[in-house]
Every structure is written in structure tokens, then in C-alpha cells.
Structure 1
Amino acid sequence: MNIGITVYPTYGGSGIVGSELGRDLAERGHNVHFISSVLPTRVTELNERVHFHEVEMMSYALFEHQPYDLALATKMATVARAEKLDLLHVHYAIPHSISAILARESIKEKRYVPVITTLHGTDITLVGADRSYLPITRYALQQSDGVTAVSKFLKKATIETFDFDEVEVIPNFICPQHYQRTPDAPLRNELAPNGETLLIHVSNFRSVKRPADCVEILAKVLETEKNVRLIMVGDGPERSAVAYRAEQLGVKDKALFVGKQARIPDYLGVSDIFLLPSELESFGLAALEAQACELPVIATRIGGIPEVVNDGESGFLSEIGDVAKMAEDTLKLVLDKEMRLAFGKRGRELAVERYSTEKIIPQYIAYYERVLNKSSSAAA
């Protein structure tokens, strides 16, 4: 198949999943065309099966804000015709679905290119649910040829918010070979020169991720166990505030902010415990990646996280903002290495068993084929 994929080319979950989906589809013999403003973060290599088409913006004095959605639709239509795409798969509803539907409609007399929309979370729970965007988001869902969601929680939220239930649940995934524990890697000595137990948090540092809770947890753990360090991976609007909070709590020297990193598995593979105190996670991709690297997960019991983390088996779940309990659970794992290793081993087993590429990618391919067959039947 010739597949067009559009994602937000950032460190967010939708960009990661779309990028890695395209890479895996290419490895299985499909031709993948990424259509975006810049090359997506996880797309590290272009070849005869992985292509990139840049959306170029027109600068015009009349436009207060450059109309990216129209530029994207134009590029989608151009690529769809030139490359004879079989379908357009867009990740995140607004504006990608609208752009794809516009592209499909603009060329349908020459070639009908079905649109599949994958919902990742905030496109439904925050942006789409906003009164100003709700009607257009509902339209995007209704006009898509296929809609998938990354968790059962998100499908339920879509039904409740938009009264739309034609949603296929295809969860996020990991490649077991890309995510593995590597405790003897040189990076471990760099991050833990004194043999510290390493806590780690990975996010885009938005307020919804509650990154400041991580340094609060660290401070409480340090009251009992001093040989602990927190690694903060990523960047975003809350980073400076979190660094300042670490300074206020007197744990600045125990919290290392390493910024954005291209190789997240390298950092997960040498760490010990993963912190995810978010107030909203439609799936919890970061938790899944951590479990694949045999890290127990300390997280909140919200959204899709309970579908990923087994409480008391591969991690511990708490209510939003319950830093005291999260710190207590973290300390248990810090002090009890056998428990930590057992939780990590079980987390890896669950991640591979439920969410490996070998299990999930065929679901996407089968869904593509169903949508294509349905579109062909309708055209006939």
C-alpha cells in the first residue's frame, strides 16, 4: 500500500506513534509518505520506502496567522495524486482530519483517497471538547472513512463527548528490540556516578503532566534515602518552574534536567523507576515505554493508564496530586531492590504480551484493508 501519514512533528505521543507506525509499515514492505511541516521526531532515516513531503507556508501580509491547515490540505492533495496514495492516515483530529477531508474532496473526481483519523487524547478531551471546536471535531469524525482510538478510555470519551461510536480501538505499541534494559551502559555511570537509584520522568513539560510533582516526590524520598537522583527528560513551558521548585525544596543537586533527547530508550534503559504524575493521559505511552525497559511505574489512576500499568504488579497507581502516596510507593521500590526488579520484569512481560509491534501493527494493516474494501464497495 501507498500510505500518507500526518502527525504533529514533536515529542508528544501522537507524533511518536505516527512516526514509528510509518517506520514499521515500511519495514513490512509498504510505501510511507510523511506529510508535515518538518520531519517528525522519530523519523531518523529516509529511504526508498520512507518519504517526506514538507508543507510549505505562504507568507502574505493579509494573513495575521499563516493558514497551516489549508497549506497542509493542498500538500496532501498534491502528494495523494502524484504518489497515487491508497489512503491518508492522520494522527490528531484538529486540524489534520479537516485538512485530509478537504484534500480528499478536492481530488475525488480523479482519485478517491480514504481518510483514517487516529485519536490520541487531548484532541478529544481538551481541544475537541471545547465549545468553539466541538462542532468541527464532530464533523471530522463523521466525515472520516475510519476512526481509531488508542485506548478504551478514549473511545468511551469520544462516545460521551461527540455521540460518535464508530471507533476502532487500536492501542499504542512498542518495538521490544528498541526498548530494553541496559544497566551496564556508560550512560548509567554518567547519570549515577555514585551508584544512585535513578528516578526518571519523560514528557513535554506541559502543566497537564504535573512535572513539578516529580521533584516533590524526590524531596520526600530523600528524607529517608539520600542516594537517589531524578532525571528529567524533555522540555516545555513548565521546565523553568520545575527547576525553580527543585531549588526551593533544596534538591537542585539531585535533579538533573537533560532537555530533549533523540534516544529516549537510552535513558529509560539505565534508570530504575519511572514517574508519571499526570492529571490526564488517554493512554500513557511513556509508561508503556518505561515498562518495556523493565522500569516499575509510579503513576496516577486516570485515563488509559490502568490499561497499561497493573497496580501492585508492574507499578503503583495513585490519585491525582497525591504526592505523599506516590513518594511512599517510590520509596518502597527504592529500598526493596527485589520488588523493583520483579515489578520491572512483570512490566516488560505485560508490555510485550499486550502491546508489541508484532501484535498491534497487523491490526492497523487489517483496518486499512477494511476501510479500503468498504470505500471500493461504496464506489462500485
Structure 2
Amino acid sequence: MINELDGLTVLRFTKAFRSGGGIEQYLDDLDFMLLKRNEVKIIRTYLENDSKIRESITREKGQGILVEIPCPFSIGKQSDSIFNVSRFNKTKLSSKGHFPRPGLYRIKNAAEQLKKIHEQYKVDLLVMHYLGTIDSLEIMEEAKSLSIPSIFINHFSNSYFNNTSLRDQLYYFSGIAGVSGIGVPGRLKREFCNLSDGIDMEVFNPAHARPPEIETDIPIIFYPARILRVKGQHDVVRAYAALKSEGLLARIVFAGRTDSAEYEAELRRSVSENGLTDHVLFIGQLNQEQVRNWYGVSSVMAFPTYHREGLGRILIEAQAMKVPVVAYRIGGTPEGIVHEKTGFLVRKGDIKTFTDRLRELLTDEKMRKNMGEEGRKFVRNNFSLEALADRHEQYYAMILNNARKKTP
């Protein structure tokens, strides 16, 4: 059977960098599989302010072609108004909206970027991976003028759909989707598509892990996430300080890109003040294989995020590696864990219960092993990379078919 994406050009507008975060890895894995299975051209923008990097990179991958295009960006303020209604003459758009956090990065000359890309590649489908900012509005206005069908994929909590600035831009889209089905507003439930997430089960296979050079005589609490206040690393420090005072020894390993140097400095001070310097490692940004290797020596993965996560990719990575998880119940995280079977869900900010759950896992090897086995089964049955690609292929094809039917 000929795949319905063969011969098409799909453009992804993102506010991601080339590497370093969950969305970046999601897109890398997804596009790898789509290109492996389809003769499709995927164009992906990424944030880049290095003036020396202005040329696109084109590579053959699988049956298709991947084009990566750097986009210069500026950094706005949280309080900046998103819309200048008089400029866009859209009375239905609110002038009271503010940048959601992803909107702090603003792609420069966004509409012109889309126009140039379309002139060069003839885009069949636009997939937006962010929304609710001035530049996203510019892109959607241009896409509408060029008659390009478009999809919005939300990578964060579905509570974002209640943001006025985001909600007002949804009417431009042919399709609305996300990575979690939790908390979808009633007005969107009929048209919303849950594309979920997926990982490569062979990459995240405990048998393939190569232990990093570290003493493993005490349990490791691993947290691979950007160093940013909303990611909640301080709660891991607070919890372990309490456990250490009881005589329970472990090692915390924080891995991830530093997005806030100020917060990292504050976190390191807290580590020092609590007498934990010899028990906490900051190892920076890792590639996918390095992350896997650290899962391979970890006893538990902590995920006390305050961020409005869509699903939390590291949840499924850890469980695929047979590492039980203790996570805050926020956004789409309940879809990524089976409470008391593959790990524990804790009310956001409940440090006492978070500490108690860590203690249970760190002191009960049998529980860790049982949860680890169940976790890998859970991920295999629900979050394979093949299933993720299936969902995207089917959804893109449906949107394009619907658009063709509407074309005179």
C-alpha cells in the first residue's frame, strides 16, 4: 500500500532548539520514524541566534529528506502584550493576553520565514508546535493567505487551551492535537486528537545500558530535566535532606541543560547548606544514550515538576528502563504512570508524601524490581515509537484529505 504521506512536504514550526529537551527529542524520534517509513520531506525550524549559522541543513534520512532551518529569535517579557489588535485588525483577538512561557522566545520575521520556505519547498501541511504569541499569529495569517492546511500540536498541559491568546488563534487550524488527553476543554473534545508520545524501546533497553563511571554502592535518584525552577529540583534536595537526616544514604544526579543560571546557583547553595555536596551531582546536558546509561544504574527517577507538562517524556523513558518513578500529579503525567504499580503519583508540592514515596522505593528492592518490570510492560503496550508514528501518519492524512474535499 502506498502511504498517503509519500511525496508530501510537511513543515514544522517549533520553538525548540536543535537538541537539549523533551520536545527536541520527541521531534527527533518522531521524524526519524516518519522518514524511515515514508517518502516525505520534513522541514523543521529551530531557534538559533548564532549569526554564523544561517544556512539550512538538508539530509537524506530513511526514505525521505529532513531539512533543518535556523530561525533568529528575540526574547520578550512575561508581561508583554501579545496582540496589537489595530495592527492585525482582528476584533476577536484579545489584547489582554500575555506570553505563556514558550512565548518568551519570539521568532523574528516569522511570516516572511514561512513565505520563503513555501516558495522554495511548496508546503503541503503546516504543523505548529507552539501557539499564542505574536509570531505564531503572523505565521497563521500567512498560512491562511497561502491556503496551507495546518495542525496545532500542544506539548504542554491542556490547561493551556484556556489561555486567551492561545484560544483565540485556534480558529485558524484544520486540526488540534496534543500529547495527552487529560483536561481537554469541553468545547474542544470533539475535534481534539490525542497523539500521545512514544520512545524507541530498543534504545531504552536495560540490556543496552553501559554503566557510567560512578560508585554505585548507594542508590541513585536520577532526575534528567532542564535546570529551571518550575522543574522542581529543589524538592528533590529537600526530600533527600530529610532522608539523609534519618541515616538513609543515596546520591542525587541532576542531568539537563541549564536554562536558569540563577536557579542553578540557588540550587547549589541549598545543596551546600544542607550538607549534601558529596551526594549531589550536576552532570549537564546528555545525549539519549548517556541518559539511558544513567537510568541503567538508577534506583528511582524523581519528577517533582511544577511545569504544566503535556505528558513528561522522561516518565516513559525511566519506566522503559525498569526504573520506578515518583512524580507530581500535574498536567498529563497521570497518563504516563500507573499509580502504585509502575511508580507513585504525589500531589504537587506535597514534600512529605514525596519523601515518603522515595523512602519506600529506596529501601525496598523487591518493590523496585516489581514496579520496574511492570513499568516496561506498560511502556511497551502504550508508548512505542511505531505507534506514535502511526498516529501522526493517520492524523496528517485525515487533515489533508479533509482539506482537499473543501478545495473548490
What TM-score, normalized by structure 1, do the two folds share? 0.84
Matched, 1:3 2:10: yes
Q: Deviation of residue 370 (structure 1)?
A: 0.7
Q: Deviation of residue 377 (structure 1)?
A: 0.7
Q: Deviation of residue 12 (structure 1)?
A: 4.0
Distance 1:201 1:99 in 2: 37
Number of the residue aligned with 1:205: 227
Number of the residue aligned with 2:78: none
Q: Deviation of residue 289 (structure 1)?
A: 1.6
Number of the residue aligned with 1:62: none
Alignment size in residue pairs: 350
Matched, 1:101 2:140: yes
Q: How does 1:1-380 map to 2 (within 5 A)?
A: 1-10=8-17, 11-29=20-38, 30-38=40-48, 47-48=59-60, 49-56=65-72, 68-69=106-107, 71-95=109-133, 97-106=136-145, 108=146, 112-121=147-156, 125=159, 129=162, 134=164, 136-156=165-185, 159=186, 163-165=187-189, 166-181=191-206, 185-187=210-212, 190-191=213-214, 193-234=215-256, 235-237=258-260, 238-263=263-288, 264-279=291-306, 280-380=308-408
Instruction: Kindly indicate whether the alpha-carbon contact (under 8 Å) linking 2:222 and 2:300 is maintained by their aligned counterparts in 1.
Output: yes
Q: Deviation of residue 151 (structure 1)?
A: 0.9
SS of 2:283's partner is: strand
Instruction: Kindly indicate whether the alpha-carbon contact (under 8 Å) linking 1:116 and 1:147 is maintained by their aligned counterparts in 2.
Output: yes
CA distance 1:245–1:57, shift in 2 (3 Å): closer
SS of 1:94's partner is: coil
Distance 2:391 2:338 in 1: 23
Instruction: Kindly indicate whether the alpha-carbon contact (under 8 Å) linking 2:209 and 2:293 is maintained by their aligned counterparts in 1.
Output: no
Number of the residue aligned with 1:42: none
* Cα RMSD (Å): 2.5
What are structure 2's unaligned runs of at least 5 residues? 1-7, 50-56, 75-103
Instruction: Kindly indicate whether the alpha-carbon contact (under 8 Å) linking 1:70 and 1:99 is maintained by their aligned counterparts in 2.
Output: no
Instruction: Kindly indicate whether the alpha-carbon contact (under 8 Å) linking 1:14 and 1:92 is maintained by their aligned counterparts in 2.
Output: no
Deviations along 1:268-301, one digit per CA (max 9) or x if unpaired, are 2332210011234331222122111211000112
Counterpart of 2:398 in structure 1: which amino acid? R
SS of 1:261's partner is: coil
Distance 1:50 1:269 in 2: 32
Q: Deviation of residue 15 (structure 1)?
A: 3.2
Distance 1:98 1:352 in 2: 38
CA distance 1:84–1:319, shift in 2 (3 Å): same
CA distance 1:2–1:212, shift in 2 (3 Å): same
Q: Deviation of residue 76 (structure 1)?
A: 2.0
Instruction: Kindly indicate whether the alpha-carbon contact (under 8 Å) linking 2:15 and 2:105 is maintained by their aligned counterparts in 1.
Output: no
Distance 2:209 2:248 in 1: 22
Instruction: Kindly indicate whether the alpha-carbon contact (under 8 Å) linking 2:72 and 2:108 is maintained by their aligned counterparts in 1.
Output: no
Counterpart of 1:267 in structure 2: which amino acid? W
SS of 1:289's partner is: helix
CA distance 1:174–1:183, shift in 2 (3 Å): closer
Distance 1:196 1:67 in 2: 41
Stretch deviating more after TM superposition (278-287 or 239-248): 278-287
Deviations along 1:69-126, one digit per CA (max 9) or x if unpaired, are 45232222222231122211121223464243133134x2xxx32111101226x646
Instruction: Kindly indicate whether the alpha-carbon contact (under 8 Å) linking 2:180 and 2:196 is maintained by their aligned counterparts in 1.
Output: yes
Q: Deviation of residue 154 (structure 1)?
A: 4.3
Distance 2:369 2:398 in 1: 42
Distance 1:46 1:340 in 2: 44
CA distance 1:216–1:137, shift in 2 (3 Å): same
